[in-house]
Structure 1
Amino acid sequence: MRNIKVEYHKVVDILIFNDKHQLALQKRALSDKSFPGHWDFSAGGHIDRNEEAQKAAEREILEELGVSGQAIFMSQEYFQYPDWDPSILRDVETSIFKMFYNGPFRINSKEVEKIIFFDLRTIQKMIDQGNKFHPEFLLTWQKGIVLHAV
């Protein structure tokens, strides 16, 4: 039996919608050490020590997408899922935010391969067809949080 390491992460995840009610999904950079090339939230990342979740969300949007704006708090969630490295189990506390923005984006290519707006039906089809999604996004989608954000 192999040892499984549990890692606790406190993070923010951001959903960016345009005025057509489409959701921007980022495709994670292929060089990313965790879930490379997977579709994910519009932006997201770890909350720094002593940082407020809203400030972390706004920082991540700026760092990853080159966009300044106000993130609106939606939900606090707790998820547990296997990491990209099968010897690690992620125990995640996430603050989920939304933002409304039509583009353009100035992506940080070290973190993001591309970002595209999709209508929600298309995202469901992508999931049904087995496209690779970050587990945290899938868990949020399955709970209906994304649908309630629009």
Structure 2
Amino acid sequence: MNGEGEHKHPAWSFVMNCKGDSCTGDVVMFEQNVYEMFSIASRSATGPPCGTSVIVGWIVKESYGAVKQQHTFTIEQRGETTPSPSSLLTKGRNLYRLKTMRQRWENESERHKILSEKHFRGNAARSYRAACLQEKEIKKALRERTSKGNI
């Protein structure tokens, strides 16, 4: 907020485009819209954006939702004006539609290990969802047959 973040994380250090491929441990920078109004009921912003904000933070956690497999990131921010860390939860689809840049890791091979594990969990979550949807369709077809007296 007071411009001091540029010393710790200069904009030129965010050289890797990680749109679609962020993981725990990444230090990311992206710009998001800021809205004046927020609807608690729909849990979304209302009205046109009143500006933008540059977010810089560490991805400290990421997960896939059990039901819809929505990818969620927890990004921790710490600044000169906020000495204690604050967390920002953002859906993967929202983070990925932005031009998300990251800093290069000291050991990129370590990042690849974490990314592989993330991709494995994502594939498992998608497979599980597909199986659940298939089971739901089979049950629906069975109910329709029994209600029509075909069995």
Choose 1 or 2 for highest CA Rg. 2
TM > 0.5 between the two? no
TM-score, normalisation: structure 2: 0.23
Query: What is the TM-score normalised by the length of structure 1?
Result: 0.23
